[in-house]
Amino acid sequence: MSDKTGPLSLIESVVMLAPLRLVLGAVFVFAAWTKLSNPQDFAIAIKAFDLLDPETGGQVIKLMAFALPWAEGICGVLLLLGLFTRPAAALVSVQLLVFTGAIISVLVRDIDVECGCFGDSDWPCGGEDEEGKPRVMGLCHVWRDVVLLGGALILTWRGGGVLALDQIRERGSCSPARDDADFDDA
């Protein structure tokens, strides 16, 4: 069994895991906040992806517009705290895979749509094109999600590290092994 609190674990946590957790958590909290602050715009963005028929999938679109930001926000907060890091990062990974697939689908079908990922701010892919029009979906969105997915997969694999609240939770739930010899004197 490896030492989870050794010097290498501390270095890994400070240099890689804590920054990944904090950045990914902050990105997902920000994304959730922008969607929750204007759920109607987010529902319109989901509809614009043209993945569901608005007539038959309207309820699914409404459910996604409501549930997705909450899932993003909860996972983001858990990542910021380093609490249940692996499950939160795994759920973020699944979300990012779905987002990336939806973006690729829009690009392949040549649909001109705005992302809606971060509300009016389309970090870091925002801005204007050569004609001064707001940028729509492009490869930048795919690469952004792939980079975020890489971070989420690392956290799913390695956990939150020694600087995460997971360490306190795990220490509190595990009782030290008892040696039966301690009870022989009683």
Tell me which residue of 152, 174, 166 sits closest to 81, measured CA to CA: 166
How far apart CA 153 and CA 79 sit, in angstroms, is 13
Contact 164, 85 (CB under 8 A): yes
Domain locations along the chain:
10-167
pLDDT digits (tens, 9 = 90+) for 96-150: 999 999 999 999 999 888 878 887 777 788 766 667 666 678 898 999 999 999 9
DSSP letter, residue 182: G
Lookup result for tokens 């690469």:
143
Q: pTM of whole model > 0.85?
A: no
